[in-house]
Chain A
Amino acid sequence: MSADPTQVLAFETDCHLFDGCGFPAPGLHSFLFEPLMGDADGNGLYFNKPMLLALLGSIIVVGFFWAAFSKPKLVPGKLQMVAEAGYDFVRRGVVYETIGKKEGEKYVPLAVALFFFIWMMNVWSIVPVAAFPVTSIIAYPIVLAAIVYITWVSLTFKRHGFVGAFKNFTGYDKSLGPVLPLAMLIEFFSNLLVRPFTHAVRLFANMFAGHTLLLLFTIASWYMLNGIGIAYSAVSFVMVIVMTAFELFIQAVQAYVFVLLTCTFIQGALAEHH
């Protein structure tokens, strides 16, 4: 990484309370990084810190599972046991629970890969030096949500044909009577347009907000470290620790929610319309 500290830390390091400089509040700029290579105008290969973390994260996930599963044993070692527990949690706890064992088996790899990939990307948030959740850049959740969207929409067409898929998307139900056209319009809008958007934004916004909060308290702890402000700084630092623990929880929950929704969408695509 660059030797310039301003590129590593998201705020001015020599600014304190009573020094006459304002509070360097975190904002959108906290999620923009000076490229490590090239620049945004397309000169050279553009490469920044979140990209590095994304690739590093996927290498860590693959490395972990490679170490655990490349030569699996009938009587598992410690690492294999941990990896099996994680695998089993997604397989049994999410996929089998929503889609069912028979239909769901095909989607287990997708769910497992999604869960551990997202979790890793989220966990970067509290890893020292990295300290940035990759999923708080909208591009990453969008890619994942798009993959899920393509999967379940194509699955709906494959399973029900064109008319059947249309009925599936619009929740066609004759018993609704005169409200049917309106219901169909809302359902169509909700399923095909809003659903992928909220799917991606839910993950993005949670991680974005979490990172902003962490930044806020971290910057405040540092900024108030002057004169009487030291007392407030201590409180703020306690908040940093509390928020870090909370983020650790949220990171896992958001990965779980993303995968659970994925499975629910796939299940909806497979279900017979009623």
Chain B
Amino acid sequence: MNPLVQLAAEAEKENPLIPPWPELVIGLIAFVIVFGFLAKKLLPNINKVLEQRREAIEGGIEKAEAAQTEAQSVLEQYKAQLAEARHEAARLRQEAQEQGATLIAEMRAEGQRQREEIIAAGHSQLDADRKAASSALRQDVGQLATELAGKLVGESLEDHARQSRTIDRFLDGLDETASKAEATR
């Protein structure tokens, strides 16, 4: 009998919706093979790797973020240091200026003082010189005048006191005339 005709005859008896037992068993076995391998070994395998990959990517991102924040903080630190240095430099300059100014002022005051001292010393020296000169002069003039007067008058003036009084009066008269002459000038 032709196998096709035989098959067709069999097909007439069979309902395509009624499953034959052997195929149910084979179908179950075939699916269980796939499910078993996937569920027990292969999918856990790949899940682990996917998780690792996710972590690796997130770890990379975290690392990059950390590096960026560090760079940021270093930059800020650097900027702060720079500003501080600038501030310090400005302060030093200011201080130097102030110091210079006080130094100049001190020097000026000192100079002034010294000048005044020198002037004062000069004045007193002058005064003393003048006084010494005038007293010396007074004695000399007195002596000269006395000698002159003695010679002229021809008499010795014994009375020393009177003599000196006379001389003084004469000199005072001289002084007076001198100061008068100075005042009128």
Contacts and interface: CB of A to CB of B under 8 A. Distances in A.
A118 to B, nearest CB: 9
Nearest to B38: A113
A82 to B, nearest CB: 12
Interface of B: 2-4, 7-8, 10-12, 14, 16-20, 22-24, 26-31, 33-35, 37-39, 41-43, 45-46, 48-50, 52-53, 56
Interface residues of A, number: 54
Given A28-B14, A142-B24, 12 more contacts: A4-B3, A29-B11, A62-B37, A62-B42, A65-B37, A66-B37, A73-B49, A138-B16, A138-B19, A139-B19, A142-B27, A201-B17
A84 B11 CA distance: 43
A270 B77 CA distance: 57
A143 B31 contact: yes
B38 A84 contact: no
B56 A74 contact: yes
Interface string A105-129: 0001110111011000000000000
A22 to B, nearest CB: 13
For A55, A70, A80, A138, the residue with the greatest tally of chain B CB atoms inside 10 Å of its CB is A138
Contacts of A132: none
A165 B111 CA distance: 114
B34 A113 contact: yes
B3 A6 contact: yes
Contacts of A204: 17
A27 interface: yes
Q: Among A57, A58, A114, A116, which residue has the most Cβ atoms of chain B within 10 A?
A: A58
A72 B45 contact: yes
Nearest to A7: B3
B31 A113 contact: yes
Contacts of A72: 45-46, 48-49
A12 B26 CA distance: 29
Interface in A37-52: 40, 46-47, 50-51
A113 B3 contact: no
A272 interface: no
A223 to B, nearest CB: 14
A112 B38 CA distance: 8
A54 B20 CA distance: 15
A192 interface: no
A140 interface: yes
A35 B53 CA distance: 49
Contacts of A58: 30-31, 33-34
Interface string A187-205: 0000000000000010010
Contacts of A235: none
B34 A32 contact: no
